[in-house]
Amino acid sequence: MSADGVLGTLAPDTTSDIDDVIYIGYLSIACMGLRALLSYNSETKVHDQARFGLLKCFVNSGHGFTKVQLDTEKPNSVKIVMSREKIATVGRPALGVLIHELHIARCTKNVKEGSSLFDNLTSVDEVAVQRRAVVEATKGPRTLFVHPNTRLENGIVSLVEYPETKEGLTQS
């Protein structure tokens, strides 16, 4: 079953809604790949490698599918440009090839090939380091997910909400 078929059974009513969900999903993956550079450390080379690797897969797929560029309209910002028309013809196949190659290397226990593929895909070049500096300069405070609780007192269920602070996170 295609992604469209799965999405069609879950909720969206029209093809344009399904296309929007798919586009937002791919764009979110690209954005997370860019934000993954925030945890990059030039000495240990450690960062959210897989997320960055997916972004690099999109960019390297060619045909103008995904570009990461400095935003000329807003100083000190980076823009991800993704062609929603090329998701099915360029993006999805590129992702499929990557997953297939990693899967083959894993299944055949070819550590050398798998490591080489992963290292090439996740290596951070000078351009990525420059983009990292821009992302670092524009990052906001860490998002806190404070969850409400329910309480049952004397047969009455009540919702208890907490402030979106570190204290509220601890209380929840």
* Identity of the amino acid at 120: N
The confidence band for 93, taking pLDDT boundaries of 50, 70 and 90, is very high
Which pLDDT belongs to residue 7? 62
- pTM across the whole model: 0.75
Give the pair of three-digit tokens for residue 106: 């894993």
Domain boundaries, the chain: 3-140, 141-172
pLDDT for 142-169, tens place per residue? 788 899 999 999 999 999 999 988 898 8
Q: What band does 24 get if pLDDT is binned at 50, 70 and 90?
A: very high
- CA terminus-to-terminus distance, the chain: 40
